[in-house]
Amino acid sequence: MKTPAAQLRKVAVFSAAPIALLMAGGMVWQGSQAAFSANTRNSGSSWSAGNVALTDDGLGAAAFTVENIVPGQTGQKCIVVTSQSNVSGEVRAYTQNLIAARGLDSRIYFDLEQGTGGSFNDCTGFTPTANAVSELPLATLAATNRDFATGGSSWDTTGTPGETKSYRCTWRFDTTGMSQDEINALQGARVGLDLVWELQSDDSPVIP
């Protein structure tokens, strides 16, 4: 016959098993509800459009205002074009708004050189680096160089504000091959046009 103490010990042993299982089950449940985690964040990212700006030291004034010219006369002026853009691009020169009378636009020949040095109305120190537009009559120039797509004197900018390029413009009144009557018919005639420098940003700039 077993003593009460032995019976008690047996009950205690068998009673402990369900409790242990319950505790183990509780630990598994807790483990399925938690996991280690970590993250890193780079705050403040933003995107803004670049600026494209082009100016000249003539401040938009006419490059040439020449009165009372005569056959054989010539002249030249310089202008400095500055890019204030913070994106890379290409600058091209072209003409617009030709106003002509009695064929004078076919007798004024125009030449545009690209280079360094000089300033508006003063070509002192100008050094040519390229012939942007070979000498052509204004009529031909207006027909062939009329917008950015047909413009010349390409200049690639890097996107650093303050980049400059100088241009020397030379004109000549040529009446070669004309009769005296044809030359006389040009008296009082007038011709005008706009010289335009346009900057367009690159289509696919390099993104740092």
Average per-residue pLDDT for the chain: 74
d(CA 157, CA 82): 10
List the chain residues with pLDDT less than 70. 1-64, 131-133, 203-208
Instruction: Say what the pLDDT of residue 17 is.
Output: 38
Q: Which among 201, 187, 203, 100 has a CA at the least distance from the CA of 159?
A: 201
Instruction: Say what the pLDDT of residue 135 is.
Output: 87
Could you tell me if 157 and 51 are in contact, meaning their C-beta atoms sit under 8 angstroms apart? Answer: no
Token pair of 100 as six digits = 């002509």
